[in-house]
Amino acid sequence: MDTIRKALTDEQLDQFHTEGYLIVKGLFSESDLMEIDRTFEAISHTTVPGYFEPDLSGGSEDPLKRYPRVMHPHRFNETAMKYMLHRPVMDVLEDLYGEEALAAQSMFYYKPPGSRGQALHQDNFYLQVEPGNCIAAWTAVDPADEENGGLLVVPRTSGFDIVCPELADENESFTKHFVKPPKDRGIVPAVMDRGDVLFFNGNLIHGSYRNRTKDRFRRAFICHYANASAARINTHYRPLYRGDGTPVDLEINPDGGPCGIEFDAAYPH
């Protein structure tokens, strides 16, 4: 018996399963986005040990020292929790999974002018969701394009295996892992308007380039999810949450992935 879909058309579902990603408009109202604006503007002037530790002195030449990403804001902020469990997003995820989605992680990226990008990588290398996969919901809080370091995707790599990454160029990437895309796959910019949400499969190769603008941030609210039938996940992403906020503890995934247990696959993505 087919699952009754709540949010997506046949064409949208087919694009996700074929290309590995899908941009959906209209899931956040302008009032939603303004609440997200206010919340993370306030957070940007504070320090939250273990989650957000900016250099507020202004003494660093690296803009990401002043504006690092906020890790797991749902663990200390009610607004972040609310929008991690945003019903329109959860409805899309339920269509993509064909079952209930569980929220595993939230992040907020400021990506100020001049800041480095993030080398191409695969999300489920970090989350290690089994069986099944993680899906990201990447919400553009600012318009995102090639100039300000919008997201890049490598279409039709969602069916590829998770691979052990190489070391990234740290002059251009603030993270250390790099997954080389196949020679027969092109890199495509995901150009997005404010409020657009990009959903993509945990095996899809993706990343971003440097923000080359002088005056435009590229803020994004990014959450990762697992399918409700998953049994295991990396320990850094527990507990997970149902759409009603009920916590769920999956088993800790003891598998080190393609690099083995000695590799730092637990790097907080």
Find the CATH number of the domain harbouring 18: 2.60.120.620
Residues contacting residue 178 through CB under 8 Å, at least 6 positions apart: 119, 120, 121, 165, 166, 167, 168, 169
Q: Is the pLDDT of residue 106 over 70?
A: yes
Mean pLDDT is lowest, of 55-59, 111-115, 195-199, for 55-59
Please write the tens of the pLDDT for every residue from 195-227. Answer: 999 999 999 999 999 999 999 999 999 999 999
Domain assignment present for residue 4? The answer is no
Q: Is the pLDDT of residue 264 over 70?
A: no
Q: Is the pLDDT of residue 73 over 80?
A: yes
Domain span including residue 216: 10-55+62-227
The average pLDDT across 176-197 equals 96
Going by C-alpha positions, the residue among 78, 27, 81 that lies closest to residue 241 is 81
Please write the tens of the pLDDT for every residue from 151-174. Answer: 999 999 999 999 999 999 999 999
Domain assignment present for residue 251? The answer is no
Bridge partners for 152 per DSSP: 189, 207
pLDDT band at 82 (very low <50, low <70, confident <90, very high): very high
pLDDT band at 259 (very low <50, low <70, confident <90, very high): confident
Q: Is the pLDDT of residue 23 over 50?
A: yes
* Separation of alpha carbons 63 and 138, rounded Å: 22
The pLDDT, as a whole number, for residue 1 is: 43
Domain assignment present for residue 195? The answer is yes
The pLDDT, as a whole number, for residue 260 is: 74
DSSP 198: E
Q: What letter represents residue 165's amino acid?
A: P
Domain assignment present for residue 98? The answer is yes
Domain assignment present for residue 137? The answer is yes
Domain assignment present for residue 233? The answer is no
Q: HSE of 127 in the Cβ direction (CA atoms, 13 Å)?
A: 32
Domain assignment present for residue 266? The answer is no
pLDDT band at 269 (very low <50, low <70, confident <90, very high): low
pLDDT band at 266 (very low <50, low <70, confident <90, very high): very low
* Separation of alpha carbons 86 and 106, rounded Å: 12
Q: Is the pLDDT of residue 187 over 70?
A: yes
The pTM assigned to this predicted structure is 0.95
The pLDDT, as a whole number, for residue 255 is: 80
Q: Is the pLDDT of residue 59 over 50?
A: yes
Run of H or E residues at 18? helix 10-19
Domain assignment present for residue 239? The answer is no
Q: Is the pLDDT of residue 265 over 80?
A: no
Question: How much of the chain is helix, strand and coil, in % rounded to 5?
Answer: 20, 25, 55
Residue for token pair 């691979």: 163
* Separation of alpha carbons 121 and 97, rounded Å: 22
Residue 83: phi and psi, rounded to 5, are -85, -20
Contact 195, 34 (CB under 8 A): no
The structural domain count of the chain equals 1
Q: Is the pLDDT of residue 148 over 80?
A: yes
